Amino acid sequence: MVDTNQRVRMSVKYAYQMAIVGWVDLLGYGSQISEAQFVPTHPKASEAHLRLRRFHRIVSENSRKLFPSLVMNDGAIVYRDLSYRSNSVTYDFIRRAWNLFNAINEEEQQNGDAGARMVVAAGFRLRGRRAGIDQTAGHLGSILKRFELGEISSKQAIYEASRAQAKFDIIPQLQSNYAFTKAYVAESGGSKKGFTGNKFYLDMALLASPITSDVVVDRTVKWQDQRLQLSGSFGEISNIVDHGSGYMPRGAYRDGVEVAQNISNDPDILAKLRKSKLSGLR
C-alpha cells in the first residue's frame, strides 16, 4: 500500500480527479410504460408513474451533500471524487450506495415490482466548472449589485431572483467522467454481459486485496466493451458491512491513488497527475 498521507496535501485538486459513480436502473420500467402506449391518461400509466415517483423519493431521501444524486427518469446517478489521502471516502460512498440500492429494492418488493440494478465504478474525470458557461450566476450577481447600489428595492430583488430561470444546466462533476461512462455502459449490457437481475455490482478496483469480510462477493464478472475499449472486473455483492459514518477502514478499500494505479496500471500515475494541466479551458 502506498503511504499517500506523506505525498498528497489535504484537499488537493488535480486537473484529473479519480471519481466514483453509481448508476442505478429501474428494471422493466420501459416495458411497463410501453403497455400504456406512452399515453399518460391510459389506465395502465398511473402504476408506472407512481412507481417512478417512489423511486425518485427514495433517491432524494438517501442523497446528501457528500453523496449527491441526479435522477434521469427511471435511472439515477450518485457521484463523488475519491480522496488521494484516505480510503474512508471510498468506504463511505460504497456503504451509502449499498444502502440506497437496498432501500429501492425493499420498496420495489413491497409493491411487486421488478426492482433495480446498480453498478458502482471508478474512473478518471476531467475537472470542470460552471464559470464561463452558465449565465445564471451573472444574472443573480446583477440583481445583488443593483440592490447594493439602491437601484432596486429588496422586494424587487427577491421578485427578480425568484423568477430567474436557467437557460442552461450542467453538472461539471459528470462531464468527461469515465467512472460514469464505465458504470452506465456496464449496466446497460445487462445479462448478456453478466449483469443479471436486481443486483449490486461493484468495481473490484475499489477493493483492497485480499477481500475482507466487510464485503461479500458472490461472483466476479469480467467485463469488456470492445467498441469503447473499456474493461473491468465487477463483483456481484450480497452484503456490505456498514460501520456508520466516520469509520476509518483498514485494508478493505483502496484510496484514490491506489485506485488510479490499479485502473491505469501505472505505479507512477500520481506524479503524472501532479504535472497535468488543463489548457484552453476557462
pLDDT in tens, 15-32: 889 999 999 999 999 999
Task: Give me the percent of the chain exceeding a pLDDT of 70.
Answer: 87
pLDDT for residue 249: 87
The DSSP output letter for 209 is: S
C-alpha cell at 61: 431521501
Per-residue pLDDT at 257 exceeds 60: yes
For residues 26 and 116, the answer to whether their CB atoms sit within 8 Å is: yes
Mean pLDDT of 239-250: 90
List beta partners, residue 145: none
Per-residue pLDDT at 199 exceeds 90: yes
Mean pLDDT of 192-206: 97
pLDDT for residue 137: 58
For residues 75 and 23, the answer to whether their CB atoms sit within 8 Å is: yes
What is the separation of C-alpha 167 from the centre of its chain, rounded to a whole number of angstroms? 24
Query: Residue with C-alpha cell 453498478?
Result: 119
- Give the lowest-confidence range in 124-128, 185-189, 261-265: 124-128
Q: How confident is the model at residue 275 (pLDDT cuts 50, 70, 90)?
A: confident
Length of the chain: 282
Cis check for the bond before 210: say yes or no (omega within 30 of 0).
yes
Q: How confident is the model at residue 45 (pLDDT cuts 50, 70, 90)?
A: very high
> Where is pLDDT greater, at 54 or 146?
54
> Where is pLDDT greater, at 123 or 1?
123
Separation of alpha carbons 282 and 280, rounded Å: 7
Q: How confident is the model at residue 4 (pLDDT cuts 50, 70, 90)?
A: very low
pLDDT for residue 198: 97
State which H helix or E strand residue 169 sits in: none
Pairing of strands 16-26, 75-81: antiparallel
List beta partners, residue 177: 125
Mean pLDDT of 109-117: 97
Separation of alpha carbons 111 and 216, rounded Å: 27
